[in-house]
A and B are shown apart, each in its own frame.
Chain A
Amino acid sequence: MTRGTFFLAAWILAGAAGTAAADVIELSISGHKFTPADVTVPANQKFQIKVTNHDPSPAEFESHDLKVEKIVVPGGTITVTAGPLKPGTYEFFDEYNPDDAKGTVTAKE
Chain B
Amino acid sequence: MLATLIIVFREVLEAGLIIGIVLAATEGVARRGRWIVGGILGGISGAALLAVFAGALANAFSGSGQELFNAAILLIAVLMLGVHITWMASHGRQMAQEMKAMGRAVVQGDRSLTAMALVVTIAVLREGSEVVLFLFGIATSTREGAAPMLLGGAAGLLAGALVSWLLYRGLVAIPMKHLFKVTNAMIALLAAGMAGQAAAILAGANMLPTLGDEVWDTSSILRDNSMVGRALHALVGYSDRPPGIQVAAFVVTLAALIMLSKLVGQGPRIARSEPRSASPAH
Contact = CB atoms under 8 A, between A and B. Distances in A.
A12 interface: yes
B54 interface: yes
B268 interface: no
A19 B200 contact: no
Contacts of B136: 57-58
Contacts, number: 89
Contacts of A70: 58, 66-67
Chain B, interface SS category: helix
Given A73-B58, A79-B63, A64 B140 contact: no
Contacts of A64: 223-225, 240
Q: Give chain A's interface residue range (CB within 8 Å of chain B).
A: 35 or more
Contacts of A60: 130, 133-134
Nearest to B63: A79
A15 B208 contact: yes
Interface string A1-26: 10010010001101110110000000
A15 B207 contact: yes
B33 interface: no
B137 interface: yes
Interface string B169-201: 000000000000000000000000000000110
A83 B224 CA distance: 17
Contact of A11 (B208, B225, B256): B208
A98 B208 contact: no
A4 B141 contact: no
A67 B202 contact: no
A55 to B, nearest CB: 8
Interface in A85-109: 95-96, 98-99
A41 interface: no
Interface of B: 3, 7, 54-55, 58-59, 63, 66-67, 129-130, 133-134, 136-138, 140-141, 199-200, 202-210, 213, 219, 223-225, 239-241, 243, 245, 248, 252, 256
List the 5 shortest-distance A-B pairs measured between CB atoms, nearest first.
A57-B137, A73-B55, A15-B208, A64-B224, A58-B133
19 contacts: A7-B252, A16-B207, A18-B210, A58-B54, A58-B136, A60-B130, A60-B134, A64-B240, A68-B204, A71-B54, A73-B55, A73-B133, A75-B55, A78-B66, A80-B204, A81-B204, A95-B7, A96-B137, A98-B7
